[in-house]
Amino acid sequence: MTNQTGRVYSELRLSVWGLRCCRCRVNQIIVIDYNSKKGYLMNTDVVMDVCQSLLGKAGVPVGWLDINGHFVYVNQAMAAILEYSPIGCLSLSLADIDVNFTREAFLLRWETLKRNDTAQKDESVFKTNSGRLMPTEITSHYFRAGQNEYLAVFIRDISVRKQAEEAFLESEARLKLILDELPGYIWTTDKNLVYTHFAGSAAILWRENNADILGRTPRSSAGIKAHRRALKGFPSTYEYESPVGRTTYLVRTKPLQDRYNEIIGVLGLSVDIGKIKEMENQLKNSQQKLRNIATAYVKAQDEEREWIALEIHDRVVQSLTAISHQTQRLMPFTSKDGRTLLEELSGGVKDILHETRTIMTELYPTTLERYGLIKLISWDLNSIAEVIGCETDLKNNLLHDPHGTVQSTLYRIAHEALLNIKKHAVGANKVEVQIKEWRGWIKLEIIDDGPGFNTRKDTAWGHGGLDSMRRRAEIIGGTFNISGRPGAGTKIVVRLPIMPVSVGIK
């Protein structure tokens, strides 16, 4: 009994592969039927009926093929996926639906499965009744039922998987194209700092293939240091000068972690910034040229002001002084009424002389070297106090006299700002000037509580004056900022280096 029932079950077990409940049910019926002594052939028929009954209700598409590739049985799931009726499927052969079918390949599969008594998986494309091409996975099993031989085929629609694979391959191809065209390279290393992956165009500059770099270690000391930092969990960014390609790379390294957040190596990206560096150098050269032009402009402007001041002194002041002296000499020889007129004339000449000297000082403060920065700013504050009647305050903590250019720039800006306060800040109660030295910089602050103005829109102080102050600061590497609003006064903050630096106008 055991041999007969076992053989029948063994021959049919592959046809219900994967359906363990069916397998047990078939075996149970075989044993019961044998015990009822209905005979071996009757057992085979019973098993075939049971298999077809159980497989017909299964959700897996199943069909049986004869040696010619014709369907002798399909279940409902197979008929549905092929878009035929079960009866319609029995008129089909595998050649009708498998676009890759060849008779030779089918017979080879048949003999292989018959000889090895195992399952075989293949992939192909089935054409359904509606004409849809369906990527399909086919699992085939050979079995015997009495004197008949069959292939049981289980199929699975793998359209979604194929689409995902195609999308993945397309993304992979795009990524490879990007990496191949990357002006640099991307890589990974293991914990021993050995390259495990390398992609990018940089290897061309090294006259090597990307694959030849695998198994090596980083070349530069900076690279080794950055890799070791990454293995400790710290990202790094540094620049690397390539000795081969004569270019500069900006390198970024970070820890490479697995799905458990364990550090397993280093991920690095290098981008060729050689052209950027070249452009930076060109920009620096252009900025230097601009600085030289601006410096020459300011110097020419100062020289022109000095010339105008000297011309006023030589041609106007001296003539006015001579007129004043002559009026004094005429005093004893004129009548009382004449002396009154001469005194008025003399007073007018003195007022003109005073205004002329003020203009000369504004044009070119020749007394800067004689009296120094702080003294001149103090005089300007006293002048403001006399004109608008406000309180003034000067705070200075300079430890050393600034460089000549810096000192001149400081006074020019302070002088221009205080002149603007004298003209536009009528009604101010206090004007304050602070000069501080800190970490290689000099900070000048000029604050008034006058009527103020919108520094972003209005030009109450004169657009040219603000531009001139800003230009003077930026020429020597400093900054100029002005802030204020109507009714809240105005504040100017200037930062200048103790020593002028070579920077361009911002």
pLDDT one-digit tens code per residue, 299-308:
777 778 778 8
All residues at 6 or more sequence positions from 162 whose CB lies less than 8 Å from its CB, including other chains: 135
- Provide the residue ranges of all domains of the chain, joining segments of one domain with +: 2-158, 182-272, 286-364, 368-506
Report the distance separating Cα 396 and Cα 434, nearest Å. Answer: 6
pLDDT for 5 equals 39
- Are 222 and 237 spatial neighbours (Cβ–Cβ below 8 Å)? no
CATH class of 182-272: alpha beta
Report the distance separating Cα 263 and Cα 266, nearest Å. Answer: 8
Q: What is the DSSP letter of 386?
A: H
Partnered with residue 121 across adjacent β-strands are 139
Section 237-261 average pLDDT: 83
Highest-scoring range by mean pLDDT, 177-186, 331-340, 418-427:
418-427
Section 487-501 average pLDDT: 86
Cα 63 to Cα 55, 67, 85, 86, 334, distances in angstroms: 9, 13, 13, 10, 143
Residue with tokens 């540094």: 238
Distance of CA 470 to the CA centre of its chain: 33
Cα 497 to Cα 161, 275, 281, 290, 504, distances in angstroms: 67, 31, 23, 19, 14
All residues at 6 or more sequence positions from 492 whose CB lies less than 8 Å from its CB, including other chains: 413, 417, 444, 445, 446, 447, 469, 480, 481, 482
Least confident of 82-86, 132-136, 209-213: 209-213
Query: Rounded to two decimals, what is the model's pTM?
Result: 0.42
Residue 173 has pLDDT above 90, yes or no: no
Section 6-18 average pLDDT: 39
Q: Is 419 buried (19+), middle (13-18) or exposed (0-12) by CB count in 10 A?
A: middle
Better-scored residue on pLDDT, 163 or 347: 163
Report the distance separating Cα 254 and Cα 436, nearest Å. Answer: 43
Highest-scoring range by mean pLDDT, 75-79, 247-251, 463-467:
75-79
Domain 2-158 has CATH 3.30.450.20: yes
Q: 20 phi and psi, to 5 degrees?
A: -60, -35
Least confident of 27-31, 51-55, 71-75, 111-115: 27-31
Residue 24 has pLDDT above 50, yes or no: no
Better-scored residue on pLDDT, 216 or 176: 216
- For the chain, the average pLDDT equals 79
The reply to whether 2-158 and 182-272 are identical in fold is yes
SS (H, E, C) 34-59: HHCCCCHHHHHHHHHHHHHHHHHCCC
Section 404-418 average pLDDT: 87
Write the pLDDT tens digit of every residue in 437-458: 888 899 999 999 888 887 776 5
Least confident of 97-101, 283-287, 342-346: 342-346
Nearest Cα to Cα of residue 96 among 85, 78, 82, 81: 82
Q: Give the percent of the chain with pLDDT over 90.
A: 26
- What pLDDT band is residue 96 in, cutting at 50, 70 and 90? very high
SS (H, E, C) 256-309: EECCCCCEEEEEEEEEECHHHHHHHHHHHHHHHHHHHHHHHHHHHHHHHHHHHH
Report the distance separating Cα 82 and Cα 62, nearest Å. Answer: 11
Look up residue 197 and give its two tokens.
């992956």
All residues at 6 or more sequence positions from 8 whose CB lies less than 8 Å from its CB, including other chains: 30, 40, 43, 44, 47
Section 101-113 average pLDDT: 92
The CATH number given to 368-506 is 3.30.565.10
Report the distance separating Cα 380 and Cα 209, nearest Å. Answer: 73
All residues at 6 or more sequence positions from 443 whose CB lies less than 8 Å from its CB, including other chains: 434, 435, 436, 437, 493, 494, 495
pLDDT for 30 equals 39
